[in-house]
Amino acid sequence: MKRPLAITVAGLLSLALVASACGTTSKSGTGTTKPGGISPAGAGSQWTTNHPFKVAWIYVGAKSDAGWTHQHDLGRQAVASAFGGRVQTYYKENVPEGPQVTTTIDQLVNQGVNMIYATSFGFQPYVVAGAKKYPNVIFEQATGTDLGKNLAEYGAAGEDADYLAGMAAGYATQNGRIGFVAPYAIPEVIREIDSYTMGARETHPGATVQVVWTNSWFNPAAERQAAQSLVSTGVDVLGDGVDDPAVGQVAAAAGIKWTGYDSDQNQYAPNAYLTNAIYDWAPYYVRDVRAAMEGTWRSHFYYGNIADGSITLAPFGKSVSQTARTAILAKEAQFKNGTFNPFTGPVIKQDGSVGIPAGKTIPVWDAHNQNALSRYTLSWFVKGVIGSAKG
């Protein structure tokens, strides 16, 4: 999930309730809706091939990255397919997290775009400003927290499927030493690593996950270097949270196993591949665009999950044993029916102290107490992680 370079809550509107613990209690995902909204000019049946509804996506990477941006672009393609000529889609690739976002927004609005999806959290301050500047355009920010009359936030619990991928890694490791190539030391990535580690330690008690940071979402050269450094320490499984399959290629060359991220990456290193979390944005995008076209769109905070299909587990690689498959699928069923949440205590921190007390489940995000412990503010590693959560 992209991607908070810093959790900022400036301008966050008061929500009616605290977001519940991610994805284990509702088949429709976790979310809140703010009363009111906007109706683009011509909302309803007036959108035609001669007068299409225009929707744009701003990507932090390339749609060919085989990961995060690729999955968002599949969602864009699903929108184009669902509505035919009544919708016209646009996208901007490789937009850096900085002032260029404002320029991109201005360009899109000047093209007559009715709705804009920004798919990296580093875009958020520019999107917030854009929403204020263009009140008749709908804006949506991936993995953020700021809301407005014409601004919504959306995300999905990739960390839940990371738990399942961690279980696969735990089954695969022989020596209990797993390596993880991570992008940025931010809550989104920290909760991913924590969940992955807890999953690995469920199936291989005592296993460790050693983290190396790259400080980039997409830098294959840095990722290969990080992965190779982990291999040199003796890990026999690699995992990652970056936007491409470079880590898997290192694993394949070293003859060890690997869990990927974002999309089904089996094809890039089939002998090494185990499984990974997949983001499926298509249902959300289609549903959301339809609401905007019909004039029923409302500002909201949405966090999808395994139960509602926003998050899935990729098909298993050929080396995953039947024992592992059975256990992982049983745990996946618990995520779906709401009987398991990795962030229900007791959860022990890396330093041995209690991070989440027994019986307590932390929420996705607490809008009433923005500094409270939640998935969106998690800043520490769990027991079993080697490395610093500060990067």
pLDDT one-digit tens code per residue, 339-387: 999 999 999 999 999 999 999 999 999 988 989 999 999 999 999 999 9
Tell me, yes or no, whether 129 and 201 share the same domain: no
Domain with 265 in it: what CATH number? 3.40.50.2300
Query: Helices 100-110 and 124-133 sit at what angle, rounded to 10 degrees?
Result: 40
Residue 19 lies in a domain: no
Q: What is the pLDDT of residues 247-277, one digit of tens each?
A: 999 999 999 999 999 999 999 999 999 999 9
The rounded distance, in Å, linking the Cα atoms of 63 and 51 is: 27
Q: Are residues 164 and 109 in the same domain?
A: no
Lowest-pLDDT range of 43-57, 243-257, 268-282? 43-57
Domain match, 346 and 207 both: yes
The tokens for 171 are 């089954």
CB 43 within 8 A of CB 82: no
Nearest to 391 by CA among 226, 153, 162: 226
User: E strands along 256-319, which residues?
Assistant: 257-259, 277-279, 300-304, 311-313
Q: Is the pLDDT of residue 38 over 90?
A: no
pLDDT band at 196 (very low <50, low <70, confident <90, very high): very high
- The identity of residue 132, as a single letter, is K
Give the total residue count for the chain.
391
- Going by C-alpha positions, the residue among 319, 359, 367, 322 that lies closest to residue 343 is 359
Residues 229 and 135 in one domain: no
- Is residue 325 a part of any domain in this protein? yes
The verdict on residue 57 lying in a domain is yes
pLDDT of 3:
43
The tens digit of pLDDT for each residue in 152-178 reads 999 999 999 999 999 999 999 999 999
Tell me the pLDDT of the chain averaged across its residues.
Answer: 91
Task: Give the pLDDT of residue 33.
Answer: 62
Cβ neighbours of residue 247 under 8 Å, at least 6 residues apart? 181, 223, 224, 226, 227, 238, 239, 240, 258, 260
β-sheet bridge partners, residue 300: 33
Burial 317-331 (b: 16+ CB within 10 A, else e): beebeeebeebbeeb
Beta bridge partners of 30: 303
Domain span at residue 340 reads 159-277+319-386
**135 shares its domain with 234:** no
Looking at the domain assignment, is residue 310 inside a domain?
no
Whether residue 1 lies inside any domain: the answer is no
* C-alpha distance from residue 14 to each of 18, 32, 212 (Å): 10, 11, 37
End-to-end CA distance of the chain: 18
Identify whether residues 41 and 109 lie together within a single domain: yes
The predicted structure's pLDDT at residue 24: 30
Q: What's the domain count of the chain?
A: 2
Is the pLDDT at 100 greater than 60? The verdict is yes
Nearest-CA neighbor of 196 among 175, 173, 216? Answer: 173
Other Cβ atoms within 10 Å of 348 Cβ, number: 15
Chain centroid to CA 347: how far? 22
Q: Taking a C-beta distance cutoff of 8 angstroms, is the pair 263, 315 a contact?
A: no
